Chain A
Protein backbone atom coordinates (compact mmCIF):
# COMPACT_ATOMS: atom_id res chain seq x y z
CA UNK A 1 0.00 0.00 0.00
CA UNK A 2 1.16 3.53 -0.74
CA UNK A 3 2.31 5.54 2.27
CA UNK A 4 0.53 8.90 2.27
CA UNK A 5 1.75 12.03 4.02
CA UNK A 6 -0.84 14.71 4.64
CA UNK A 7 0.74 18.13 5.24
CA UNK A 8 -1.40 20.72 7.04
CA UNK A 9 0.03 24.24 7.12
CA UNK A 10 -2.93 26.58 7.52
CA UNK A 11 -3.86 28.39 10.73
CA UNK A 12 -7.05 27.11 12.40
CA UNK A 13 -10.32 29.05 12.14
CA UNK A 14 -8.89 31.20 9.33
CA UNK A 15 -8.60 29.03 6.24
CA UNK A 16 -11.24 26.31 5.97
CA UNK A 17 -8.42 24.06 4.79
CA UNK A 18 -7.37 23.29 8.37
CA UNK A 19 -10.70 21.51 8.76
CA UNK A 20 -10.48 20.24 5.19
CA UNK A 21 -7.15 18.55 5.88
CA UNK A 22 -8.51 16.69 8.91
CA UNK A 23 -11.65 15.64 7.01
CA UNK A 24 -9.47 14.27 4.22
CA UNK A 25 -7.28 12.44 6.75
CA UNK A 26 -10.37 10.85 8.32
CA UNK A 27 -11.68 9.79 4.90
CA UNK A 28 -8.35 8.18 4.08
CA UNK A 29 -8.37 6.38 7.42
CA UNK A 30 -11.92 5.11 6.87
CA UNK A 31 -10.72 3.64 3.57
CA UNK A 32 -7.84 2.00 5.44
CA UNK A 33 -5.03 3.99 3.86
CA UNK A 34 -1.65 4.33 5.56
CA UNK A 35 -1.74 8.03 6.53
CA UNK A 36 0.73 10.18 8.46
CA UNK A 37 0.05 13.83 9.38
CA UNK A 38 2.70 16.54 9.38
CA UNK A 39 1.86 20.00 10.74
CA UNK A 40 3.98 22.81 9.31
CA UNK A 41 4.13 26.60 9.44
CA UNK A 42 0.97 28.17 10.95
CA UNK A 43 -0.63 24.73 10.89
CA UNK A 44 0.99 24.16 14.29
CA UNK A 45 -1.59 26.48 15.89
CA UNK A 46 -4.21 23.83 15.08
CA UNK A 47 -2.61 21.59 17.69
CA UNK A 48 -3.04 23.92 20.67
CA UNK A 49 -4.69 22.57 23.79
CA UNK A 50 -7.78 24.36 25.16
CA UNK A 51 -9.37 25.67 21.96
CA UNK A 52 -12.65 27.57 22.34
CA UNK A 53 -14.07 27.68 18.81
CA UNK A 54 -17.61 28.82 19.67
CA UNK A 55 -16.74 32.36 18.65
CA UNK A 56 -15.54 31.09 15.27
CA UNK A 57 -19.03 29.76 14.42
CA UNK A 58 -17.64 26.36 13.54
CA UNK A 59 -16.72 22.92 14.86
CA UNK A 60 -13.77 22.31 17.18
CA UNK A 61 -10.57 21.16 15.50
CA UNK A 62 -9.31 20.02 18.88
CA UNK A 63 -12.20 17.58 19.27
CA UNK A 64 -11.44 16.12 15.86
CA UNK A 65 -7.72 15.90 16.65
CA UNK A 66 -8.48 14.10 19.90
CA UNK A 67 -10.65 11.58 18.03
CA UNK A 68 -8.05 10.70 15.39
CA UNK A 69 -6.74 7.75 17.39
CA UNK A 70 -10.18 6.14 17.17
CA UNK A 71 -9.54 5.91 13.43
CA UNK A 72 -6.01 4.53 13.92
CA UNK A 73 -4.58 7.90 12.89
CA UNK A 74 -1.79 8.00 15.42
CA UNK A 75 1.21 9.08 13.36
CA UNK A 76 1.28 12.83 14.02
CA UNK A 77 4.34 15.00 13.48
CA UNK A 78 5.19 18.69 13.64
CA UNK A 79 8.01 20.67 12.06
CA UNK A 80 10.46 21.49 14.84
CA UNK A 81 11.68 24.74 13.24
CA UNK A 82 8.11 26.04 12.95
CA UNK A 83 7.54 25.27 16.65
CA UNK A 84 10.71 27.13 17.70
CA UNK A 85 9.76 30.13 15.54
CA UNK A 86 6.38 30.32 17.29
CA UNK A 87 7.53 29.60 20.82
CA UNK A 88 5.66 26.29 20.87
CA UNK A 89 6.61 22.82 22.05
CA UNK A 90 4.85 19.45 22.13
CA UNK A 91 3.71 20.24 25.71
CA UNK A 92 1.37 22.90 24.27
CA UNK A 93 -0.41 20.41 22.05
CA UNK A 94 -3.69 18.58 22.69
CA UNK A 95 -2.49 15.28 21.16
CA UNK A 96 0.80 13.35 21.16
CA UNK A 97 2.90 14.69 18.30
CA UNK A 98 6.55 14.04 17.40
CA UNK A 99 9.01 16.67 16.12
CA UNK A 100 10.59 16.47 12.68
CA UNK A 101 13.93 18.21 12.16
CA UNK A 102 14.93 17.14 8.64
CA UNK A 103 11.64 18.01 6.93
CA UNK A 104 12.84 17.43 3.37
CA UNK A 105 14.04 13.88 3.88
CA UNK A 106 10.97 13.11 6.02
CA UNK A 107 8.65 14.21 3.20
CA UNK A 108 10.79 12.35 0.67
CA UNK A 109 10.22 9.06 2.50
CA UNK A 110 6.52 8.95 1.49
CA UNK A 111 4.89 7.77 -1.75
CA UNK A 112 2.08 10.34 -1.93
CA UNK A 113 1.80 13.87 -0.53
CA UNK A 114 -1.49 15.63 0.13
CA UNK A 115 -0.64 19.25 0.77
CA UNK A 116 -3.16 21.47 2.52
Chain B
Protein backbone atom coordinates (compact mmCIF):
# COMPACT_ATOMS: atom_id res chain seq x y z
CA UNK B 1 0.00 0.00 0.00
CA UNK B 2 1.21 3.50 -0.79
CA UNK B 3 1.22 5.62 2.38
CA UNK B 4 1.78 9.27 3.22
CA UNK B 5 1.90 10.87 6.64
CA UNK B 6 0.81 14.26 7.94
CA UNK B 7 2.78 15.17 11.08
CA UNK B 8 1.68 18.18 13.15
CA UNK B 9 3.52 17.30 16.36
CA UNK B 10 6.80 18.91 17.42
CA UNK B 11 9.75 16.75 18.49
CA UNK B 12 10.55 16.54 22.20
CA UNK B 13 7.03 17.70 23.02
CA UNK B 14 4.17 15.20 22.83
CA UNK B 15 4.62 11.66 21.58
CA UNK B 16 2.99 12.47 18.24
CA UNK B 17 6.14 12.79 16.15
CA UNK B 18 7.66 9.67 17.72
CA UNK B 19 4.47 7.75 16.95
CA UNK B 20 4.68 8.93 13.33
CA UNK B 21 8.26 7.66 13.02
CA UNK B 22 7.42 4.28 14.57
CA UNK B 23 4.39 3.97 12.30
CA UNK B 24 6.54 4.69 9.26
CA UNK B 25 9.21 2.25 10.40
CA UNK B 26 6.63 -0.50 11.00
CA UNK B 27 4.88 0.13 7.67
CA UNK B 28 8.17 -0.15 5.79
CA UNK B 29 8.99 -3.38 7.63
CA UNK B 30 5.68 -4.80 6.41
CA UNK B 31 6.61 -3.94 2.81
CA UNK B 32 4.43 -0.86 2.35
CA UNK B 33 5.62 2.08 0.29
CA UNK B 34 6.14 5.36 2.14
CA UNK B 35 5.69 8.12 -0.39
CA UNK B 36 5.83 11.37 1.54
CA UNK B 37 5.88 12.73 5.09
CA UNK B 38 4.41 16.23 5.24
CA UNK B 39 5.36 18.18 8.37
CA UNK B 40 2.85 20.93 9.14
CA UNK B 41 2.53 23.60 11.81
CA UNK B 42 4.68 22.68 14.85
CA UNK B 43 5.63 19.48 13.06
CA UNK B 44 8.01 21.55 10.92
CA UNK B 45 10.39 21.65 13.88
CA UNK B 46 11.21 17.97 13.24
CA UNK B 47 13.58 19.09 10.47
CA UNK B 48 15.83 21.28 12.58
CA UNK B 49 19.50 21.05 11.65
CA UNK B 50 21.14 21.93 14.91
CA UNK B 51 19.29 19.88 17.50
CA UNK B 52 21.75 18.47 20.05
CA UNK B 53 19.81 16.26 22.47
CA UNK B 54 21.55 14.55 25.41
CA UNK B 55 23.46 11.43 24.34
CA UNK B 56 21.04 9.08 26.03
CA UNK B 57 17.97 10.52 24.27
CA UNK B 58 18.61 9.96 20.58
CA UNK B 59 18.43 12.54 17.80
CA UNK B 60 14.96 12.64 16.22
CA UNK B 61 16.05 14.60 13.16
CA UNK B 62 18.80 12.08 12.34
CA UNK B 63 16.35 9.24 12.83
CA UNK B 64 14.03 10.75 10.18
CA UNK B 65 17.03 11.28 7.89
CA UNK B 66 18.06 7.61 8.17
CA UNK B 67 14.49 6.53 7.42
CA UNK B 68 14.45 8.82 4.38
CA UNK B 69 17.69 7.28 3.04
CA UNK B 70 16.40 3.78 3.63
CA UNK B 71 12.97 4.28 2.05
CA UNK B 72 13.48 7.07 -0.47
CA UNK B 73 10.41 8.88 0.91
CA UNK B 74 10.16 12.65 0.72
CA UNK B 75 10.39 14.60 3.97
CA UNK B 76 8.59 17.89 3.28
CA UNK B 77 8.42 20.77 5.74
CA UNK B 78 5.50 23.11 5.03
CA UNK B 79 7.29 26.24 3.89
CA UNK B 80 4.94 28.67 5.66
CA UNK B 81 5.09 26.69 8.93
CA UNK B 82 8.86 26.38 8.65
CA UNK B 83 9.81 29.95 7.77
CA UNK B 84 7.93 31.52 10.66
CA UNK B 85 9.70 29.13 13.05
CA UNK B 86 13.17 29.99 11.74
CA UNK B 87 13.49 26.83 9.64
CA UNK B 88 15.21 27.84 6.40
CA UNK B 89 17.05 26.08 3.60
CA UNK B 90 20.00 27.85 1.99
CA UNK B 91 17.82 29.45 -0.71
CA UNK B 92 15.40 30.94 1.81
CA UNK B 93 18.26 31.97 4.11
CA UNK B 94 19.74 33.95 1.24
CA UNK B 95 16.38 35.40 0.24
CA UNK B 96 15.69 36.68 3.76
CA UNK B 97 19.31 37.64 4.47
CA UNK B 98 19.77 35.15 7.30
CA UNK B 99 23.11 33.62 8.21
CA UNK B 100 22.51 30.13 6.79
CA UNK B 101 20.35 27.05 6.44
CA UNK B 102 18.68 25.78 9.60
CA UNK B 103 17.01 22.65 8.22
CA UNK B 104 18.60 19.23 7.85
CA UNK B 105 19.49 18.39 4.22
CA UNK B 106 17.27 15.27 4.30
CA UNK B 107 14.27 17.63 4.50
CA UNK B 108 12.87 19.93 1.81
CA UNK B 109 10.61 22.96 2.03
CA UNK B 110 7.37 22.75 0.06
CA UNK B 111 3.86 24.17 -0.20
CA UNK B 112 0.51 22.78 0.91
CA UNK B 113 -0.02 21.55 -2.63
CA UNK B 114 2.30 18.68 -1.74
CA UNK B 115 -0.07 17.69 1.08
CA UNK B 116 -3.01 17.80 -1.31
CA UNK B 117 -1.05 15.70 -3.79
CA UNK B 118 -0.06 13.18 -1.11
CA UNK B 119 -3.68 12.84 -0.05
CA UNK B 120 -4.97 12.46 -3.61
CA UNK B 121 -2.29 10.02 -4.79
CA UNK B 122 -1.66 7.78 -1.78
CA UNK B 123 -3.84 4.87 -0.69
CA UNK B 124 -3.84 6.24 2.85
CA UNK B 125 -2.94 9.55 4.49
CA UNK B 126 -2.31 9.08 8.22
CA UNK B 127 -2.43 12.12 10.52
CA UNK B 128 -0.32 12.52 13.66
CA UNK B 129 -1.63 15.48 15.65
CA UNK B 130 0.02 17.50 18.40
CA UNK B 131 -2.11 16.19 21.30
Which candidate, B27-35, B51-59, B65-73, B109-117, is the interface stretch facing chain A?
Answer: B109-117
Q: Which residue of A lies closest to B38 (CB)?
A: A24
Verify if B40 is at the interface (C-beta below 8 Å from A): yes
Which residues of A sit under 8 angstroms from B129, Cβ to Cβ?
17, 115-116
Residue from A31, A114, A115, A116 within 8 A of B113 (CB atoms): A31
Contact B115 A16 (CB under 8 A): no
User: Is the Cβ of B8 less than 8 Å from the Cβ of A20?
Assistant: yes
| B41, A27: Cβ atoms closer than 8 Å | no
Residues of chain A within 8 A (CB-CB) of B8 are 17, 20, 116
What's the Cα separation between A116 and B129 when bound, in Å? 7
| Inter-chain contacts of A31 with B (CB < 8 A) | 113, 116-117, 120
| Contact yes or no, B42 A16, CB < 8 A | yes
Residues of A within 8 A of B120 (CB): 1-2, 31, 33
B40 and A24 within 8 A (CB): yes
Chief secondary structure at chain A's binding surface: mixed
Assess whether A28 is in contact with B116, with CB atoms less than 8 Å apart: yes
Q: How many angstroms between the C-alpha atoms of A33 and B40 in the bound complex?
A: 19
Interface magnitude class on chain B: 10 to 19
Let me know if B76 is at the binding interface, CB within 8 A: no
Q: In whole angstroms, how far apart are the Cα atoms of A1 and B125 in the complex?
A: 15
Please tell me if the beta carbons of A2 and B119 are within 8 angstroms of each other in the complex.
yes
A17 and B130 contact, CB distance less than 8 A: yes
Bound-state CA distance A19–B80 (Å) is: 12
Q: How many angstroms between the C-alpha atoms of A31 and B8 in the bound complex?
A: 21
A17 touches B119 (CB 8 A): no
Q: Which of B42, B111, B113, B116 has the most CB of A within 10 A?
A: B116
Q: Are A20 and B40 in contact (CB under 8 A)?
A: yes
A113 touches B130 (CB 8 A): no
Whether A27 contacts B80 by the Cβ 8 Å rule is no
Whether A23 lies near B127 (C-beta < 8 A) is: no
Residues in chain A within 8 A of chain B (CB atoms) = 1-2, 4, 15-17, 20, 23-24, 27-28, 30-31, 33, 112-116
